[in-house]
Amino acid sequence: MSQSFTRFPMVAIAGAGLALTLAACGGGSSSSSSSPSSSSSASSSSSAPSSSSSSAGSSSAAGSSSSSAPAAAGPTKTVTANEVEFKIQLSTMTFTPGTYTFDVKNGGSATHALKIVGPGVDKSTSDIAAGKSATLTVTLKSGTYDVNCPVANHKMLGMDVKIKVA
């Protein structure tokens, strides 16, 4: 007796589940589900060649394309910029395209900041109090950049350096 009572509700639940599954399949397969699946298979097939070519390129990078690899994902280089009244002293004047972090130290007695303006870049640190430091990270392309102090008229007073990236 008890077995037949437990079996009956399970059959009813299973039947309801089948009906729901069939209804969902029938409604979806008419038109709406077929067009997304065809477009997604088209996009996945178009992305497959690009991913396979990039993996092929990276595997052969050691041999032929080593010159393009550093430009795309080279390490961030650090340049020290010391600011005094009224000069900006950079630790290097030789720049190649890539990402640079300028480690800016205010070695003077007035408040300074460092601004870099050039191709694709227009960035500045906040004001840097005397004795303090700040960093500014920029991605430099080939071209000429202007490194200056945007505080008051410090740029006119001489805190203005042109750097060439090549």
> Can you give the binding site for Cu ion, defined by CB under 5 A?
112, 149, 151, 154, 159
At 115, list the tokens.
Answer: 């601004």
At 166, list the tokens.
Answer: 């090549």
Q: Which residues contact 144 (CB under 8 A, 6 or more apart)?
A: 118, 162, 163, 164, 165
DSSP 89-127: EES-S-B-SEEEEEEEEE-SSS-B--EEEETTEEEEPPP
Q: Which residues contact 88 (CB under 8 A, 6 or more apart)?
A: 81, 82, 114, 147, 148, 149, 159, 160, 161
145 φ, ψ (degrees, to nearest 5): -120, 150
For residues 78 and 135, give the distance between their C-alpha atoms in angstroms, rounded to a whole number. 10
Number of CB atoms found within 10 A of residue 138's CB: 19
